[in-house]
């Protein structure tokens, strides 16, 4: 209910009436976490911060033995796109990139139709570049052999645009391959080197990078090969090597490192306010920076709320959608909404791996 007061009433009201305290942050998050964990299985780590308040919860194990910690490196899936977005924003603030410029300005070798796409259209997934490009054998082979982001351009250049740029929105991993190539072309540095020297080292993100490090959580999955039913229990993913991190995702980081990134995004250390507002436009009245990420053996959530000084980090090395659902349920609190536990019925997973009691085991679908 919205309360309205006259000026006279406000002047005469007590301080208690003028400013009702918000519900305690950590207990509210703890209660929502418990409700969500009861609704959908979750194994991993949750770190929620707002100002000086924080909530940390770990559940389950990484591999049937080790417990998660704030220093455990996780593969981020598409949450790694935030590194690409920040790198582009830094180059915008330095006057090296214009968001409304055609990408042919920076990659003149592109064919005309692709060269006309703007940098901003790539970031906002409005370019028309192939969307679900990550799941083909050809892409995997190219990514395993690539030595730079520019090596991934042939995967995009050879594909027709799905729609005229700017006319639709379609999630595009391929578009982020192109953004990585632009970062390399403009900075004169390999994508990995740029992140190391302009993001990870300055922020003290010592366990973040494109490749796994010692102790990285293994990819745990119930999915098997095509036509085979899911395993009853998750197991270390075999026969399908983890891809190296790239501009579209699958970088590696920890809760501690991502907390450092979140604080920098809340403040002004990384990007100007104008560039942040352009890269991460306000939607539905809430200003949020970040996204979810999911693939076989990884499901992550990273969201920063600059206006309230809040950040939410959810990391799991198990199949979707448990991590993303936890992130969305807890994220409602940061947006001023009540906690509502979510199930796969609310956000169907493309992996189709959760079996509800009394239902037959669904077949894996990617």
Check residues 39 and 136 and name the one with the higher pLDDT. Answer: 39
Residue 289 predicted with pLDDT over 90: yes
Residue 358 lies in a domain: no
Q: Determine the angle formed by the axes of helices 81-93 and 255-266, rounding to 10 degrees.
A: 30
The per-residue pLDDT for 142 is: 79
The mean pLDDT of 9-22, rounded to a whole number, is 38
φ, ψ for residue 343 (rounded to 5)? -125, 175
**Strands of 310-316's sheet in order across:** 53-59, 44-50, 310-316, 298-305, 289-295
Residue 139's pLDDT is: 74
Which pLDDT score, from 0 to 100, does residue 359 have? Answer: 40
- Residue 326's pLDDT band (cuts 50, 70, 90): very high
Angstrom CA distances, 39 to 112, 182, 300, 344, stand at 50, 43, 18, 9
Does the residue 210 lie in any domain? yes
Residue 86 located in a structural domain: yes
The pLDDT of residue 239: 57
Q: What pLDDT, on a 0 to 100 scale, did the predictor assign at position 360?
A: 39
- Residue 143: φ, ψ to 5°: -70, -35
Closest listed residue to residue 182, CA positions, set 126, 123, 133: 123
Q: Which helix (H) or strand (E) holds 143?
A: helix 137-145
Read off the pLDDT of each residue in 341-350 and give the average, rounded to a whole number. Answer: 82
Helix (H, G, I), strand (E, B) or coil at 46: strand
Find, among 39, 51, 117, 119, the residue nearest to 326 by Cα: 39
Query: From CA 335, how far away is CA 288, in angstroms rounded?
Result: 9
Write out pLDDT tens, residues 214-266.
Answer: 899 999 998 877 677 888 899 998 755 567 889 999 999 999 999 999 999 99
Residue 366 has pLDDT above 50, yes or no: no
Percentage of the residues of the chain whose pLDDT score is greater than 90? 68
Q: How many CA atoms lie within 13 A of 159 on its CB side?
A: 22
State how far the Cα of 99 lies from the Cα of 117, in Å rounded to an integer: 11
Give the CA-trace dihedral at 103, 108, 110, 115, to 10 degrees.
30
Is residue 2 in a domain? Answer: no
pLDDT at residue 350 in the model = 57
Higher pLDDT: 140 or 278? It is 278
Q: What is the CATH number of the domain that holds 289?
A: 3.40.710.10
Beta bridge partners of 57: 46
Question: What is the predicted pLDDT for the residue at 2?
Answer: 35
Burial of residue 188 (CB within 10 Å: 0-12, 13-18, 19+) is exposed
Confidence band, pLDDT 50/70/90 cuts, at residue 353: very low
266 in any annotated domain: yes
Per-residue pLDDT, 15? 34
pLDDT of 300 above 90: yes
| pLDDT at 93 > cutoff 80 | yes
Indicate the average pLDDT of the chain. Answer: 86
pLDDT class of 80 with cuts at 50, 70, 90: very high
Q: Which residue has the higher pLDDT, 130 or 185?
A: 185
Cα 40 to Cα 140, 314, 354, distances in angstroms: 31, 14, 9
> Mean per-residue pLDDT for 10-24?
42
What's this model's pTM, rounded to 2 decimal places? 0.88
Average pLDDT over residues 114-142: 85
208 occurs within a structural domain = yes
Helix (H, G, I), strand (E, B) or coil at 318: strand
Task: Name the more confident of 156 and 72.
Answer: 72
Domain range for 200 is: 23-334
- The count of structural domains within the chain is 1
Q: Is residue 151 part of a domain?
A: yes
φ, ψ at 209 (rounded to 5°): 175, -170
Give domain status of residue 27, yes or no. yes
Nearest to 152 by CA among 132, 181, 111, 182: 181
Contact criterion met (CB below 8 Å) for 350 and 320:
yes
> Running DSSP on this structure, what letter comes out for residue 243?
P
Dist CA 354 CA 255 (whole Å): 26
């Amino acid at each position: 209910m919205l309360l309205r007061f006259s000026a006279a009433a406000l002047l005469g009201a007590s301080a208690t009436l003028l400013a009702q305290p918000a519900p305690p942050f950590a207990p509210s998050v703890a209660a929502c976490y418990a409700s969500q964990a009861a609704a959908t299985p979750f194994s991993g780590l949750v770190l929620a911060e707002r100002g000086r308040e924080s909530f940390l919860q770990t559940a389950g194990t990484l591999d049937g033995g080790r417990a998660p910690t704030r220093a455990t490196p996780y593969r981020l899936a598409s949450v790694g796109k935030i590194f690409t977005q920040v790198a582009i924003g830094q180059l915008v603030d330095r006057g090296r990139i214009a968001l409304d410029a055609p990408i042919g300005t920076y990659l003149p070798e592109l064919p005309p139709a692709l060269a006309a796409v703007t940098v901003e259209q790539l970031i906002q997934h409005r370019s028309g570049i192939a969307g679900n490009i990550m799941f083909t054998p050809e892409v995997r082979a190219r990514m395993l052999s690539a030595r730079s982001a520019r090596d991934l351009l042939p995967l995009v250049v050879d594909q027709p645009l799905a729609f005229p740029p700017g006319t639709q929105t379609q999630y595009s991993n391929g578009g982020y391959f192109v953004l990585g190539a632009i970062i390399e072309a403009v900075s004169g540095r390999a994508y990995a080197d740029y992140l190391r020297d302009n993001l990870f080292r300055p922020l003290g993100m010592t366990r973040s990078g494109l490749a796994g490090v010692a102790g990285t959580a293994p990819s745990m999955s119930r999915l098997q090969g095509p036509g085979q039913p899911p395993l009853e229990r998750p197991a270390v993913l075999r026969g399908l090597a983890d891809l190296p991190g790239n501009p579209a995702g699958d970088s590696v980081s920890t809760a501690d490192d991502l907390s450092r990134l979140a604080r920098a995004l809340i403040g002004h250390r990384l990007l100007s306010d104008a560039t942040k507002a352009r890269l991460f436009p306000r939607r539905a009245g809430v200003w949020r920076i970040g996204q979810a990420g999911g693939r076989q053996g990884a499901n992550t959530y990273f969201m920063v709320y600059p206006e309230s000084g809040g950040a939410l980090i959810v990391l799991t090395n198990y199949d979707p959608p448990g991590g993303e659902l936890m992130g969305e349920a807890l994220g409602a609190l940061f947006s001023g909404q009540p906690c509502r536990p979510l199930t796969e019925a609310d956000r169907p997973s493309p992996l189709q791996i959760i079996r509800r009691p009394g239902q037959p085991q669904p077949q894996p679908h990617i």
